[in-house]
Structure 1
C-alpha cells in the first residue's frame, strides 16, 4: 500500500471510506488517477446500516470487477406489500420478470459489512490509490492550482496534502461540506423512527411474513424488511412522548417487536433511533471541492435508496473528473462538465426524494379517517384489484445536464445491459464493450456509413447488436455481436431509434433514428466537450 506523506500531491483526495467514498476511489484509481482516500475509522462498521441496492449499483460493482465478490452477500428483494387500516392489501411493489434490463436482479437486499469490506480491499489493491485510515479531515484551502487538504490523526500529528480536486463523502454531518460553506435545503420530512436489525432463528422465521411489509397503520406505521439469510429489519415509527434513547435499548426494542417475535425467537443485531430527514445540498461543488453521498443528501428509507444515491453520485462525478484530469475537456468546457454534476445529481435526488416522500405519506398517515380514505382511493385506482408495480419504475431518469437537446425519448435513461454473444460465449454487454463512451446501434456494421466508424476513434467504440443472427466480430473501434434475450431490441423499439450515444455512467446522452442524426448527435457532444470531431 502507498504511504501517506506530508506535502504529497494527488489528483483527487476522497474524504470518507464508506460505500460512496470507496466507489469514488475505486473508479478513479482503476483509471490510474492518483487518489488519496482518508477516513478516521480503521475498520468497517460491523453492523448493517444500508440494506438495499439495485441493478444500477450492481452494474457499477460489475464494472469494478466486484460482482462475483459481492453477489454472495446479496439476495433478491422480496415483494413489498402495503396493508391499510383494516389489514387489507392496498399497494404492492415487486421486481420485474427476467430478462432483467441491466443484467442483474433489479432490487436486492444485502449485508453491508462484507460488501463494504470487499470494496475496501479492492481500493487498497489499486496502485494509484493511497488509503490513510485513522486520519481526520480538519480543513481545506483552495487556490488557482488546486487545494490544500489538512488532516490530523488520533495522536495529534497534523499534515497537509495537495490535490487537484477534493470529494467529501464523509456522511451526514460532513466536515467537508461545512468547510466548503455548503448548506442543506430541507425538503420537509422530519420524523423519529426506531430501526432494529435482528438475526432470527427457525422458530422465529416460522412466525414472520414471507414478504416484506409496510404496515400503513395510523396507530404506529412500521416497515418489515426480509434481509439476506436470517436477517430481518423493522423500521418502527416512534409515538409522541416515547423516549428515543430508551427505545434504542434492548428493552425498548423488544417492547415493540413483541407483536411479531420475542427474545426466544431472535438475537438483536443493532437497534438505533433516528430522525428520518429529507435534505439535499443547495450546491454540490465549491470550486475544487465536491460533496457526495450522505454529505449531499438524506432521504427517508422507504425505498432503500440511501446508499444507492451515494453510489450514483460517485459514478456520475468520477468519469467527469477522469475526463478533465486526462485533458479530454479543458478550459470552460471542463468547468461546464464538472458543473453538470450538481445539475444532474441534485435534480435526480430531489425527484426521487419527492417520490419517496409520497410513499412515506401513504405509510405514515396518522389520522384514521384519512387513512381509510387513502386505502379506498388506492383500491379504487387499481380497479378493485391491487396490481403489482415494478420498484424500478419509481427511479427517475436524468432530466438535465450533459444530455443532447431534443435527443429523443431515451435521452437521460439508463441504457440496458443485455446478454450478448461474445467471442467465447454469452457475456453481459459491459463485459464486452467496457464502460466508456459508446455508440450502440441495431444496424449491422456493414450497413453503417464509414464516417460513423471514423467517429468511434474520437468517442469510444461502436457496438452493433443487429436483430438478425450474426457471429461475433470486432475491429479497432467497433464490435458486432448477437443479442440473446431481446432486451435491447425492445428498448430500441420503445424509443423509436436505431442508435444511442451512451455515457460512461450508462446514461443515454441521446438517441438517433438515422445515420445523419447520429452524426449530428456525436458532433454536438464534441462541441460540448470541446473535442475535435471530423
Structure 2
C-alpha cells in the first residue's frame, strides 16, 4: 500500500539519508516508530532509536527548530543519563557550566548558596549546564538527517491519530494542503501541552493552569558587574514580583510573573519589560531586549502515559512551572526510558507488555517529584506572609550551611535522587 506523500521539505529533510531508506520510506506507508513533535524530547527519542537502527519518522509542524527560550537548564542527572549517546558532549560544547545556585530575597539580598560540587562523587557533571533548548534540538536534527534509519518531516501537521486493529497506530498528516497516513508499530506524542496525540487518545490532562502568565526576556546586560555577589543561577523571592535570573551562553534570561490583569501584548511591550528589568537592577541606560515571550504555565499530568501502541512524553504527558528547571529534563528522561523499552521490544525480543514499565516508572516521578517540587518552589518564591518568608529564608540558610543537608538537597535539586529511585542511575 502506497503512502500518498505530499510532505513539504521531504527532500531537504532527508538529504542525508541513504538512498535505500529514502526510497523505502517513499514506497511504504509504515515505520517502526512515528514521533509527533520535533522539539528536544521528540528529537532525542528519534535520535536514540535511530542509534539502535530502528526505523523512525519524526513529524513536526514547524519548518525548522524554533528559537524557544523557555528552557535552558540541563541537570547533572540528565548529563549522566545521556553521556553514552554523545548528547552530553554536544551540550557541553554549547553550554555554560554553572556550579552554584543562589537563593535571594528581593528585600534583603542573598540568602544562601548551594554549591553543586558537593556532588563530585555522585556525578561526572557537578554543575547545571545552561544551554538554550533549541540548540540541542538543532544538533539532534542535524544528526538525524545523516542517520540511515531516520526520516524527518517538517512543515507537517498531525491532525489525528488512530489505533489500528493490528496493535499499531496511524498518524494522519497534512502538509501543503494534502493529507497522508503513516502507519507505525508504535507512536509517541511529544507534541506539547496541547497535544493532538493525547486528545485523539481521549487521555485526560489533570491539574490546573496558573492564573498569571510568565514573561521571559533576554538581555546582554552585565548583571555580574552591576549586582553585588550575583551568581549565574539565582532565584529571588518577592511577594509582588519574584524573578528568576539565569546566565546562558548568549545572554541573561529573566523570568517574571505577569498579573492576570495584564494582557500579554502589554507584558511584551518595551515599557513593561524595561520596568521589570529596572526593578531587578536599576540602570541609567535602557536595557537592550534581545528576545521576549509570554506564556501560560500549567501544573498537569496525563492520567495515562500509554494507550495501546501510543505513548506520551515530555509536555504532552506532564507540564509544570519552570522554578527548578525540571520540565525539560523530565521530558528528556521520559525519552530515555521509553526508547530503552521500545528498543528492547523491537530489537531484543522483549514482550510488548514490558512497555508498561514506562508509565510505571515515569508517571509517579512526574506527580511526586517534578510537579510537587516545582509547586513548592513557586509557593516559596511568591510567599506573602513575612513570618513564613523569614522562616523559608532561615530554612534555606540552614540547609546550605550544613554539609549533610546541602548534599541531600543537591541530590534532589539535580534530579539524581529521582533517577536513582527508579534505577536509571546507580546508587553511590
TM-score, length-normalised on structure 1?
0.69
Partner of 2:10: none
More displaced 10-residue stretch of structure 1: 283-292 or 70-79: 70-79
Corresponding residue to 2:274 among 246, 250, 254: 254
Change (3 A) 1:224 1:269: same
Partner of 2:422: 412
Whether the 8 Å contact between 2:416 and 2:425 is mirrored in structure 1 is: no
Displacement, 1:157? Answer: 1.1
Q: Which has the higher contact order (CA 8 A, sep 6+)?
A: 2
Partner of 1:152: 174
- Please list the CA deviations of residues 28-75 of structure 1 after superposition, one character each: whole Å capped at 9, or x if unmatched: 111111111111111111342311002232234432224333322111
Gaps of 5+ in 1: 400-409, 417-487, 492-534
Whether the 8 Å contact between 1:218 and 1:368 is mirrored in structure 2 is: no
The answer on 1:342 being equivalent to 2:359 is yes
Displacement, 1:267? Answer: 2.7
Gaps of 5+ in 2: 1-13, 15-21
Change (3 A) 1:251 1:378: same
Whether the 8 Å contact between 2:163 and 2:169 is mirrored in structure 1 is: yes
Partner of 2:245: 224
Displacement, 1:251? Answer: 2.2
Partner of 2:190: 169
Q: Distance in 2 between matches of 1:270 and 1:170?
A: 23
In structure 1, the residue corresponding to 2:226 is in which secondary structure? coil
Change (3 A) 1:70 1:151: same
In structure 2, the residue corresponding to 1:12 is in which secondary structure? strand
Displacement, 1:196? Answer: 2.8
1:416-435 correspondence to structure 2 within 5 Å: 416=426
Displacement, 1:96? Answer: 2.6
1:110-121 correspondence to structure 2 within 5 Å: 110-121=131-142
Partner of 1:358: 376
Whether the 8 Å contact between 2:99 and 2:127 is mirrored in structure 1 is: no
Displacement, 1:12? Answer: 0.5
Corresponding residue to 2:412 among 393, 413, 424: 393
Whether the 8 Å contact between 1:185 and 1:280 is mirrored in structure 2 is: yes
- Please list the CA deviations of residues 75-122 of structure 1 after superposition, one character each: whole Å capped at 9, or x if unmatched: 122522223374154443331346453323442111333322111111
Q: Distance in 2 between matches of 1:22 and 1:385?
A: 39
Whether the 8 Å contact between 2:118 and 2:126 is mirrored in structure 1 is: no
Displacement, 1:210? Answer: 2.9
Task: Please provide the CA RMSD for this pair.
Answer: 2.8
Whether the 8 Å contact between 1:89 and 1:386 is mirrored in structure 2 is: no
Q: Distance in 2 between matches of 1:134 and 1:100?
A: 45
Q: Distance in 2 between matches of 1:379 and 1:132?
A: 50
Q: Distance in 2 between matches of 1:48 and 1:384?
A: 34
Displacement, 1:398? Answer: 5.5
Q: Distance in 1 between matches of 2:374 and 2:56?
A: 34
Which aligned segments of 4 or more residues in structure 1 are displaced greater than 6 angstroms?
Answer: 380-387
The answer on 1:325 being equivalent to 2:346 is yes
Q: Distance in 1 between matches of 2:240 and 2:221?
A: 28
For the pair shown, the structure with the greater C-alpha radius of gyration is 1
Q: Distance in 2 between matches of 1:171 and 1:283?
A: 15
Whether the 8 Å contact between 2:209 and 2:296 is mirrored in structure 1 is: no
1:35-434 correspondence to structure 2 within 5 Å: 35-84=56-105, 86-87=107-108, 89-97=110-118, 99=120, 101-145=122-166, 146-153=168-175, 155-186=176-207, 190-202=210-222, 205-208=224-227, 210-211=230-231, 212-229=233-250, 231-239=251-259, 241-259=261-279, 260=281, 264=285, 266-326=287-347, 328-330=349-351, 334-335=352-353, 337-352=354-369, 353-376=371-394, 378=396, 388=406, 390-394=409-413, 395=415, 397=417, 412-416=422-426
Displacement, 1:163? Answer: 0.8
Q: Distance in 1 between matches of 2:68 and 2:348?
A: 42
Displacement, 1:382? Answer: 7.4
Q: Distance in 2 between matches of 1:8 and 1:385?
A: 58
Q: Distance in 2 between matches of 1:78 and 1:380?
A: 19
In structure 2, the residue corresponding to 1:343 is in which secondary structure? helix
In structure 1, the residue corresponding to 2:367 is in which secondary structure? helix
Q: Distance in 2 between matches of 1:283 and 1:380?
A: 39
Q: Distance in 1 between matches of 2:39 and 2:83?
A: 18
The structure with the largest helix share of the pair is 2
In structure 2, the residue corresponding to 1:96 is in which secondary structure? helix
Change (3 A) 1:414 1:101: farther
Whether the 8 Å contact between 1:194 and 1:273 is mirrored in structure 2 is: yes
- Please list the CA deviations of residues 309-346 of structure 1 after superposition, one character each: whole Å capped at 9, or x if unmatched: 1110100000111111125223xxx31x1111111101
